[in-house]
A = this chain, B = another copy of it.
Amino acid sequence: MAQYTLYCFAESGNAYKAALMLALAQQDWQAKWVDFFHGETRTDAYRKDVNEMGEVPVLLHGGERLTQSGVILHYLAEQTGRFSSHDPATRREILRWMFFDNHKFTSYIATLRFLLTFMKSGETEITNFMRGRAEGALDIVNKHLAGQDYLVGNELTIADLSMCGYLYYGDELGLSLAPYDFIEAWLGRIRSQPGWQAPYDLMPKAAG
């Protein structure tokens, strides 16, 4: 049995954040596929036994069961000694971008993709609203990356792994990253890390 077990499915960018961390830190891990599209995360059993928040990712390690990608990334940084810092100010800066990611970046980008690609909603008032918010957040991140290689200084950290999670899904996003030069360059830098794999290569996907 692998050291780490990650409840995930390949379409989940939040799960990808954790899977990418495990891959880049060259950890011994296995995926446990969750059948999100047939409602597994909404069942009583999943909410009772796996995650009351009804989400992936969930990480098992020893006796620990962790949820929320932000918590899992912090935990793996501690366990592996990779992609964080011992400096308190640097750690606060990492945490700052991870909260921004959860609140203003992934939240809109992931929801826009979910509606367009998986719910096949077509363009609606809602997707228009989400896209506007997503573009505002992309602008902020793009400006920030104009001055530095990674979100926090010039080293890859878990802040980058959190923020990039949904941006490797290409056309599924329903918005173009082309206007955001510095984001595209930054995604290229992460992609060139040893061990990097795209979401659909790193995690199991439903058959069919």
Contacts and interface: CB of A to CB of B under 8 A. Distances in A.
Interface of A: 52-54, 64, 66-71, 74-75, 89, 92, 95-96, 98-100, 102-104, 106-107, 124-126, 129, 140, 143-144
Task: Say how many copies of this protein the assembly contains.
Answer: 2
Contacts of A129: 126
B53 A70 contact: no
For the complex of A and B, 8 pairs with smallest distance between CB atoms: A102-B103, A70-B99, A68-B99, A102-B102, A125-B125, A68-B96, A71-B96, A126-B129
A92 B70 contact: no
Contacts of A89: 64
Contacts of A74: 92, 95
Contacts of A140: 52-54
B102 A99 contact: yes
Contacts of A103: 68, 102-103, 106-107
A48 B206 CA distance: 45
Contacts of A96: 66-68, 71
22 contacts: A52-B140, A52-B143, A53-B104, A53-B140, A64-B89, A66-B92, A66-B96, A68-B96, A68-B100, A68-B103, A71-B92, A71-B96, A74-B95, A98-B99, A99-B99, A99-B102, A102-B102, A103-B103, A103-B106, A103-B107, A107-B107, A124-B125
A70 B98 CA distance: 10
A187 to B, nearest CB: 20
Nearest to A137: B53
A4 B56 CA distance: 38
